[in-house]
Amino acid sequence: MNIVIREMKESDLDYIMEIEKNAFTPPWSREAFLLELSKNLLAKYILAEVDGEIAGYGGIWLIIDEGHITNIAVDERYRGIGVGSKILEGLIQLCVDRNVVAMTLEVRRSNEIAKSLYKKYGFKEYGVREKYYHNNNEDAIIMWKNIEF
């Protein structure tokens, strides 16, 4: 098994949308991804391929010296084999390459798998956004990581 990280392209969106629909409620729209890829100068999106097939993706906004992870999702067929870790490592490397000093994200309070992954890479819980997720009013845990050079 070979996991390759590369930049996301507009031509990848058919696969990305399938992963998005299965991973998130509510999912982002195709138009939202198109805006991120073509208009948002702060946004960077990468994806993971396993043996040539798109297995997951991640996005980040690079704002001055901070990186805000917008989303990470892995196709359910490829979960548990390190794809999420490779995506997160790719996002961290984007930040290191651009001298970003800290990264942040929000994660559902109930998403123990994601929180465990983030903690493995040095993210710490710093607060709560109450009722952040509109579909069910679930709280979001705010996590931060300082980047060491």
Provide the annotated active-site residues. 106, 118
Amino acid at 61: W
Instruction: For residue 18, give the nearest of 73, 60, 59 by alpha carbon.
Output: 73
pLDDT tens column, 21-67: 999 888 999 999 999 999 999 999 999 999 999 999 999 999 999 99
pTM: 0.94
Tell me the domains of the chain and their CATH numbers.
Answer: 3-146 (3.40.630.30)
Q: Around Cβ 116, how many Cβ atoms within 10 Å?
A: 9
